[in-house]
Amino acid sequence: MKRTFIALAIVLAGCAPSWAHEFTVGELMVEHPWARPSLGASPNGAAYLIVKNNGKEADRLLSVSGDVAGRVELHATLMDGDVMRMRPVKDGVEIPPGQSVEIVPGGLHIMLMGLAAPLKEGDSFPLSLQFERAGSVDVSVHVETKPEKSAPPMREHHHE
């Protein structure tokens, strides 16, 4: 019995970084905030999550803040011919009632510019999300490696 418990504890400890974690504020649920580990000494990173609106009225993610980087901004990825460009989202992101908005690689994302320290697998850091109706919620972002989804080939990648 004791060996089984120890084996189970070891297995569960190995799974911990990929466990889902959720945060609620008002009628909104923020699902599994995560970021990839830093590539070398890159000063930038990105965070991702899903916001589900369980309410009957739209809400809007206005901003994201945190001490993990010098600047934390909502960005959208746009294709301009063969060039992928990222631009700040100035008016926030609408979360329609009864729907989810995915903030994911290759689309909307939370840009972390001027990281205070490299993001390392297994670490976590706090971010604060500010919503128009629901208010603010603090979330814990887990640094983990997730499999790449197939993305269109790109020749250049620019931040505006």
CA neighbours closer than 13 Å in the CB half-sphere of residue 145: 4
Q: Which CATH number fits domain 20-146: 3.40.50.1100, 2.60.40.1890, 3.10.310.30, 3.60.20.10?
A: 2.60.40.1890
User: Mind listing the pLDDT tens digit for each residue in 81-140?
Assistant: 888 788 889 899 999 999 999 999 988 999 999 999 999 999 999 999 999 999 999 999
Evaluate whether 122 touches 141 at the Cβ level (below 8 Å): no
